[in-house]
Amino acid sequence: MRTTVSMALVCAPVLLAIGVPCRAELDVILYPAYGTGTAAVVEGRVIDREKQGEITAEDGRARNLSRNLRSLMNDEQEDVPVTVTIGEKAWRTTTNQEGYFRILIEDLTLPMPGWHEMSAATTDGSGKGSLLLVPAHNVHGLISDFDDTVVISEVNDKSQLLANSLLLNYRQRKPVPDVAAAYGKLAATNPDTTSAPLFYLSASPRQLQSSIQAFLDHNNFPRGVLITKRVTNDASSEPLTNQFAYKLGRLVEVFERLPHVSFVLAGDDGEQDPEIYAAMQRRYPTRVTAIWIRRVHPDPARVRIEGQGDLAELLVPIVSSP
């Protein structure tokens, strides 16, 4: 999403007039990446840096609203050369008109699977990110929705949804009770617990990636790959309002890139998670091991799909087990 005025355009006339080059500091954002063996897809974005103050549990609604609205507006940087480094190897690319870059890597030479640090740099900025290479023996995965499955958002009450999303910060928002512990126990069913194939699939735009990740970390959710929606002003944008198409596409991508993993799918019935997950189960009948749905829809007549469990009931034995 573009701002109307670039910081470079603001400072350039003044500084250039006195012979000082105008160069804005840049943020290089690396989104979490995943893969197996030697292959992965790395995505990121380059935007003008905007300094924000410390976020506290005491922040008022006006401050939160101002901060959250600013995070939705980025001054993206087009045609910027970017170097991505993983281990001892580097790959080069250039940002598109929305500031995004994407690299398909098929020649990774990391010594072992698990989590690895990535870095990306331009001449005016740098950033770090994480890459998960799922071990061959980790075959028990989880893909979880975010709103009303992990965090209380109240999607079916639009005014309350906006209040929760814009007027609160990550330290103030409330997690769904016991879900973090349940996800941790599921991750522990893998031999290598620290690199379990866990994914958090959000329909929020990537501009909110950092605040969602901060919420997960603050509330002790197990480490996983956070996927958010790429919203742009051009044809590369993921579906803005068609959540079914967006989520189904992302789910298929995870399943295809991790063919050795079977998945539990967790979501809620506030929107279309039950129908999306049912479509995935039809497509991958042997690889969807369970579907958990949190019941939040205000209409008691909301269709319940046979075979999909109630998350509230399933949390009890998972959380209470030794």
**Is there a single domain that holds both residue 301 and residue 194?**
yes
Mean pLDDT of 140-158: 95
pTM, to two decimals: 0.89
**Is there a single domain that holds both residue 297 and residue 148?**
yes
Q: Spell out where 195-312 has E strands.
A: 198-205, 225-229, 262-268, 288-294, 309-310
Among 145, 166, 209, 215, which Cα is nearest to 64's? 166
For residue 107, what are the domain limits?
23-133
pLDDT of residue 237: 80
pLDDT of residue 43: 95
**Is there a single domain that holds both residue 112 and residue 76?**
yes
The answer to whether position 235 is within a domain reads: yes
Residue with the two structure tokens 């840096």:
49
The answer to whether position 149 is within a domain reads: yes
pLDDT of residue 18: 44
pLDDT one-digit tens code per residue, 289-317: 999 999 999 998 899 999 999 998 877 65
Contact by Cβ (8 Å): 42, 131: yes
CATH number of 86's domain: 2.60.40.10
pLDDT one-digit tens code per residue, 105-117: 988 888 889 999 9
pLDDT one-digit tens code per residue, 29-50: 999 999 988 889 999 999 987 7
Mean pLDDT of 266-287: 97
pLDDT of residue 320: 53
Cβ count near 199 (within 10 Å) = 21
Distances in Å between the Cα of 253 and the Cα atoms of 34, 41, 50, 51, 228 are 11, 11, 32, 34, 13
Among 213, 206, 251, which Cα is nearest to 230's? 206
**Is there a single domain that holds both residue 165 and residue 240?**
yes
Q: Concatenate the DSSP letters of all residues of 62-75 into one string.
A: HHHHHHHHHHH-B-
**Is there a single domain that holds both residue 31 and residue 53?**
yes
pLDDT of residue 71: 85
